[in-house]
């Protein structure tokens, strides 16, 4: 037979030599240079026992689990031994000792050769063919299953046997004196069978369990297989057992389990005919495959396959370094195979590959030489491609490792050179560089930013500490490396949770809450909340600033606030150039560094009060930042690298939109916040302002529940909702409680709060209301302390020391806050005089009543026929003065149609004077157009309008009533003034319908499309 090849496994060889001890030379003498093969023996799990532990009998067959040499193998041993036994032991010992000495050098050579990686080497020609005394082919064979790869003729393979029945059968065959031949067949589904039975032939060195410790792991017994014939391939190899070694490994319970390790050598191919006994052991009838016809086939195709196969093997030897190390031995095998038959060449070629068992079986099962060579050649080509890839990967890794080692060596040399030159960076530069690199770990840095950082770090490494640029570069690197590149928080996309947080912290503000819920709903559908620019516009004190933190909490984002009120330097937004002393990035970069998140909520406060100076226009600088189509690459002057701000949620606040530049306002989504009415202010005061002021002044202690103030100190947090109810009114009677318990009796009645709001705090917000509540609480604290001092210093009980009144009522409210600031909402309690009409106005403080007074003065006879004159006073703005001119034209048109005879020329005969009371207050706007027209008509017709009527609306030159703003504030002002009949433009009906029911109830509202509709309401036909 031609020589086959095996791959020497370094780890397996070392394990065998280490564990086997003095038995290793005997094993090496048999195996030669091929101890193991990674495909025939995956890992050598079992170990040969040391001679001190091995059985002392002449042959291993009698060694059983007890390991005590009881002689059960021949049935004659009694456990103590006999004379014949002792003689056999002496003979065996002498022979073994001689064999050990003879094979010692071979084992040493084997150990040196096994130190190489897994590589193909030719087998020693041990038992290459049948011995002369071998019997003829016997069809009845014992089956030993192979788990991973088949056994090719001429090759050797090691396997373990632990099944007791199989061991007995092999012992019986050995006693016959004939060579031990078995049938080696590859299992069809070895992986599934191994999972069901446990590991076989794949034991780690450190494993403490033994294969065969249970019946499941004895694969040679075919446990769990109904039909062994169906479990193996039909074609196998007739193999001879060349060497047998015992092994024993301790199990966890301390019991030793023994078996044998056999060395098989393939002789010829056989095919399985039928099953004789199911065993164990399994006995089958086999038939020798006749390949003589194929061996004589010498056609051109076969020769071409042979030549290509040999060429491919040589190519693999050139590429694969493992083959190259033993090129001489492989060449020796190739020279012998070139004159051999095609089957042997195909088997040799297939054995060199790392193909699967099924692919290798396709080579064995094929009988035609050309087809067999074709399949083997395909496997070789795959192996050649794999070798090329392996070499490529190894080269890449080598180059990478070599470059790193070279860089390391050069850096070490550079350090030594700098140290010799006195430029050693032991001053902290290296630590700073390590700190910068640590800051960048785990961040997704954009490519252009990473390039800038690398350049600056390289420059920083070569700067002297005394250099002026050293500190500038250090600061720049600190900013660059501490930015949250790629870091962001996960948005909370729960509508219910967001609504709960917003309702907890703020009362009202439904417009803002609905917009935030819409933002979350869209984010829930898309998977993330994109950056938006919202602008909250409303009067002071309504909670614009404080709601920003609640929105951030509802979204699960970080929060940062900065104000641009009075800002005049564009560098505050865009940052300074690094060349300036004390240069810093802009507010946006500072915010991102502070919160360490790329998607925070940034509140830009007082955006309507931004300034403009000789150092630039900050409002124009905000255009890039607040533009969704540009802020994905916002460039700060200091960093000078693009920063993605597209995921930032910007929330701006303003009192009015008139002073916001048009381009900037166009980039923001405006949400208008109206002021609070009386009912809302009362609820806010009772649930938040009063309890918190009582706690702050020390009047209430921990026995009273207090709301969680997440934003304590922010006055606009006055919109936050407080759960604990205000204590009920305490009766004004003697207090029997001790003085220290009197503080808990302090309270402000609801009627007192309503009076405080009506006559002292009429503004839209609650900031002034909070100041007055705190003033009342301070007065109560002063009264309580004075009472305690009187009680402690007086020995007699007097009316002054019996009790103290700590309850604020509507009657004693003026004792705490002084006289009312507003005496009445009406200038005229009785009927309105002719020419006077009640109008409604909106201011930054909320809604108010605006009276328009018109008086006509007869013109001199000499002035009649000239253009009528109109004079306006009351500090009216340009827009309002123009409205008065339009109102005069409309009034003249109406007089011409509706005035009785004798009064149709009223405006030609009289000079008209219009005045708006409270002349110190500037007034402007077009919404007083219908009010002025009605006032002049009342004067011309000499008819007073309805007493309870209030109106608002802009009037056009053709008498159209145009829509105005501030409907809610104007409605509140009308109710406060006792006006139950209102006239609004028809286009504002939608705004009025959105008002709460308690604001609309009891009002007579008319919606006018033209001034004729207003006239019918103002001057009804009685």
Are the beta carbons of 497 and 554 closer than 8 angstroms?
Answer: yes
Are the beta carbons of 934 and 1005 closer than 8 angstroms?
Answer: no
132 SS3 class: coil
- Going by the DSSP 8-state scheme, the letter that residue 959 receives in this structure is S
> 917 pairs with which residues across the strands?
none
Supply 831's token pair.
Answer: 């009927």
Supply 954's token pair.
Answer: 């802009």
Q: In terms of C-beta density within 10 A (0-12 exposed, 13-18 middle, 19 or more buried), how is residue 862 classed?
A: exposed
Please pick, among 372, 544, 745, 970, the residue that the annotation labels catalytic.
Answer: 970
End-to-end CA distance of the chain: 134
How many angstroms separate the CA atoms of 334 and 947, rounded? 123
Are the beta carbons of 719 and 508 closer than 8 angstroms?
Answer: yes
Can you tell me which residue has the tokens 């073994």?
Answer: 96
Q: CA triplet 230, 233, 236: central angle to 5 degrees?
A: 130
Q: DSSP labels for 242-274?
A: EEEEEEEEE-TTS-EEEEEEEEEEEEEEEEEEE
* 726 contacts: CB under 8 Å, gap ≥ 6: 686, 687, 690, 691, 747, 748, 750
Q: Omega of the bond prior to 611 within 30 degrees of 0, cis?
A: no
Q: DSSP labels for 586-655?
A: -HHHHHHHHHT-SS-EEEEE-GGG---BTTB-HHHHHHHHT-TTTGGGEE-TTT-SEE--TT-EEEEEES
962 SS3 class: strand
| Closest alpha carbon to 285 in 293, 276, 297, 295 | 276
* 31 contacts: CB under 8 Å, gap ≥ 6: 110, 124, 126, 156, 243, 263
- Going by the DSSP 8-state scheme, the letter that residue 900 receives in this structure is P
How far CA 78 is from CA of 17, 57, 93, 164, in Å, comes to: 34, 13, 21, 20
> 837 pairs with which residues across the strands?
852
680 SS3 class: helix
Whether 447 is catalytic is no
Please pick, among 883, 927, 935, 938, the residue that the annotation labels catalytic.
Answer: 927
Whether 869 is catalytic is no
Supply 304's token pair.
Answer: 């071409």
Residues carrying an active site annotation: 927, 970
């Amino acid at each position: 037979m031609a020589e086959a090849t095996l791959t020497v496994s370094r780890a397996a060889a070392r394990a065998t030599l280490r564990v086997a001890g003095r038995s290793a030379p005997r094993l090496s003498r048999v195996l030669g240079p091929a101890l193991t093969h990674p495909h025939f023996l995956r890992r050598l799990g079992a170990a040969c026992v040391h001679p001190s532990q091995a059985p002392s009998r002449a042959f291993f067959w009698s060694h059983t689990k007890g390991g005590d040499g009881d002689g059960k193998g021949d049935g004659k041993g009694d456990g103590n031994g006999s004379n014949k036994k002792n003689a056999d032991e002496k003979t065996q010992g002498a022979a073994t000792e001689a064999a050990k000495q003879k094979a010692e050098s071979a084992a040493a050579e084997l150990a040196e050769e096994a130190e190489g990686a897994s590589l193909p080497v030719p087998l020693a020609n041990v038992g290459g063919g049948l011995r002369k005394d071998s019997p003829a082919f016997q069809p009845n064979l014992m089956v030993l299953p192979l788990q991973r790869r088949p056994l090719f003729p001429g090759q050797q393979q090691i396997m373990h046997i632990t099944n007791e029945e199989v061991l007995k059968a092999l012992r019986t065959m050995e006693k016959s004196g004939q060579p031990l031949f078995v049938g080696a067949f590859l299992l069809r589904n070895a992986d599934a069978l191994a999972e069901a039975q446990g590991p076989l032939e794949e034991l780690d060195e450190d494993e403490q369990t033994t294969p065969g410790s249970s019946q499941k792991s004895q694969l040679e017994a075919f446990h769990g297989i109904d039909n062994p014939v169906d479990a193996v391939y039909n074609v196998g190899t007739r193999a001879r057992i060349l060497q047998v070694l015992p092994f024993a490994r301790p199990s966890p319970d301390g019991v030793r389990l023994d078996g044998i390790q056999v060395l098989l050598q393939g002789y010829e191919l056989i095919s399985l005919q039928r099953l004789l006994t199911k065993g164990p052991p399994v006995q089958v009838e086999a038939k020798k495959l006749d390949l003589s016809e194929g061996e004589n086939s010498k056609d051109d195709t076969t020769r071409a396959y042979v030549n290509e196969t040999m060429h491919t093997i040589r190519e693999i030897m050139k590429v694969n370094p493992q083959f190259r190390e033993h090129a001489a031995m492989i060449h020796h095998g190739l020279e012998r195979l070139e004159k051999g038959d095609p089957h042997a060449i195909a088997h040799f070629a297939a054995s060199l590959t790392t193909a699967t068992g099924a692919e290798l079986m396709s080579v064995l099962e094929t009988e035609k030489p050309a087809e067999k060579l074709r399949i083997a050649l395909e496997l070789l080509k795959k192996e050649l491609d794999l070798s090329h890839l392996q070499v490529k990967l190894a080269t890449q890794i080598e180059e990478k490792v070599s470059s790193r080692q070279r860089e390391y060596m050069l850096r070490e040399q550079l350090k030594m050179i700098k140290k010799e030159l006195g430029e050693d960076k032991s001053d902290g530069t290296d630590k700073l560089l390590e700190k910068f690199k640590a800051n960048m770990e785990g961040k997704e840095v954009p490519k252009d930013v990473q390039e800038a950082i690398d350049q600056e770090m390289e420059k920083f490494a070569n700067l002297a500490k005394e250099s002026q640029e050293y500190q500038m570069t250090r600061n720049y690197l600190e900013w660059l490396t501490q930015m949250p590149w790629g870091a962001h928080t996960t948005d909370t996309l729960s509508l219910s949770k967001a609504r709960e947080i917003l309702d907890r912290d703020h009362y009202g503000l439904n417009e803002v809450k609905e917009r935030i819920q819409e933002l979350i709903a869209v984010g829930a559908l898309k998977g993330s909340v994109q950056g938006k620019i919202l602008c909250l516009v409303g009067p002071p004190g309504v909670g614009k600033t404080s709601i920003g933190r609640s929105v951030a909490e509802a979204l699960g984002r970080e929060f940062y606030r900065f104000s641009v009120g009075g800002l005049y330097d564009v560098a505050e937004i865009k940052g300074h150039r690094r060349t300036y002393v004390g240069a810093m990035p802009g507010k946006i970069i500072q915010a991102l560094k502070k919160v360490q998140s790329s998607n925070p909520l940034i509140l830009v406060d007082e955006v309507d009060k931004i300034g403009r100076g000789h150092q630039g226009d900050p409002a124009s600088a905000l255009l890039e930042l607040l533009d969704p189509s540009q802020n994905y690459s916002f460039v700060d002057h200091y960093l000078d690298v693009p920063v993605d701000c597209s995921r930032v949620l910007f929330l701006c606040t303003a009192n009015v939109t008139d002073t916001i530049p048009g381009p900037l306002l166009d980039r923001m989504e405006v949400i208008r916040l109206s002021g609070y009415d009386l009912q809302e202010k009362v609820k806010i005061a009772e649930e938040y302002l009063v309890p918190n002021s009582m706690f702050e002044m020390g009047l209430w202690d921990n026995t009273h529940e207090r709301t969680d103030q997440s934003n304590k100190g922010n006055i606009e947090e006055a919109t936050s909702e407080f759960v604990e109810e205000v204590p009920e009114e305490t009766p004004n009677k003697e207090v029997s409680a001790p003085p220290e318990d009197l503080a808990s009796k302090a309270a402000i009645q609801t009627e007192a709060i309503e009076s405080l709001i009506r006559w002292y705090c009429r503004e839209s917000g609650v900031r002034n209301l909070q100041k007055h509540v705190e003033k009342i609480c301070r007065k109560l604290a002063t009264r309580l302390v004075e009472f305690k001092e009187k009680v402690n210093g007086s020995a007699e009980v007097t009316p002054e020391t019996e009790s103290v009144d700590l309850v604020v009522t509507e009657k004693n409210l003026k004792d705490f806050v002084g006289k009312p600031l507003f005496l009445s909402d009406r200038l005229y309690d009785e009927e309105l005089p002719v020419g006077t009409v009640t109008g409604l106005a909106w201011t930054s403080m909320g809604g108010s009543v605006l009276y328009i007074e018109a008086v006509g003065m007869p013109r001199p006879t000499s002035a009649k026929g000239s253009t009528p004159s109109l004079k306006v006073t009351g500090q009216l703005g340009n827009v309002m003065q123009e409205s008065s001119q339009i109102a005069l034209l409309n009034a003249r048109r109406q007089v011409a149609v509706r005035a009785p005879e004798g009064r149709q020329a009223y405006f030609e005969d009289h000079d008209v004077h219009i005045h708006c009371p409270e002349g110190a207050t500037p007034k402007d706007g077009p919404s007083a157009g219908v009010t002025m027209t009605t006032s002049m008509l009342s004067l011309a017709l000499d008819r007073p309008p309805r007493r309870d009527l209030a109106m608002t609306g802009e009037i056009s030159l053709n008498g159209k009533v145009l829509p105005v703003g501030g409907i809610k504030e104007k409605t509140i002002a009308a109710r406060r003034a006792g006006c139950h009949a209102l006239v609004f433009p028809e286009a504002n009906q939608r705004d009025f319908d959105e008002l709460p029911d308690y604001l609309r109830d009891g009002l007579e509202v008319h919606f006018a499309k033209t001034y004729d509709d207003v006239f019918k309401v103002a001057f009804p036909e009685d």
